[in-house]
Amino acid sequence: MEKKNLVVLTGAGMSAESGFATFRDSGGLWEQYNVEDVATPEGYERNPELVIEFYNGLRKQLLSAKPNKGHELVAQLEKNFNVTVVTQNVDDLHERAGSTHVIHLHGELMKVTSSVDPNNSKYIKTLKPEGWAVKMGDTASDGSQLRPFIVWFGESVPKIEDAIHYVEKADIFLIIGTSLNVYPAAGLLNYISYEVPVYLIDPKEVAMSSRKKVHVIQKGASEGMEEFIKLMEV
């Protein structure tokens, strides 16, 4: 029997149980830093050193984080479904848990790129765990300063078209740990066929648009995934 297409949209709540700091939650990174200073092209232009050190700190934290049970259960879904993970997260915890098809909408923390042409694949480089720190003066192959391969506020989201392609073909759509406040990711809901069942795992209440009924599992990522797998009978 042909496998169904399952698209999983994940946000900060997916990684919260792994101890990886999220930006928007209470106590999150935006309370310690101004978004304008560390997550915009203008902030980088003003003070590249601050931005580079900020992402060095995040990388160091990520290296000590481990995938949680939720990540592992998402990866295990590949036994029974064609799974595409569309994530707003910049960590690599889905990949480390075993997911093989992950679309990162907002970039990847363990990658760096050219300051001049950031989305050119020629200049994107994956950092090794032992070489996670970037210094001023480290350059891409075009000679520009290496910058984080992160989609900052005000920059285009090049992977959104890829995500839409898979969302349009989804037989099941699962949302985990995202407030659905951040666009264009939140807009992916508009590309799901009307008859496709939608599941939402989040311990908090999430305001949904006026779409048809969504099956809500009001739990954290790991517990919620255990319940979702029971519902799928896999």
Catalytic residue among 101, 106, 165, 215: 106
Residue 181 neighbours by CB distance under 10 Å? 11
Determine whether 101 is an active site residue.
Answer: no
The whole-angstrom separation of Cα 119 and Cα 113 is 8
User: What's the N-to-C CA distance of the chain in angstroms?
Assistant: 14
Work out whether strand 102-104 and strand 4-10 pair parallel, antiparallel, or are unpaired: unpaired
The whole-angstrom separation of Cα 93 and Cα 29 is 19
Q: Measured between alpha carbons, how far is residue 18 from residues 89, 124, 171 in Å?
A: 13, 26, 29
Nearest residue to 92 via CA among 67, 123, 117, 114: 67
Active centre residues (catalytic): 106
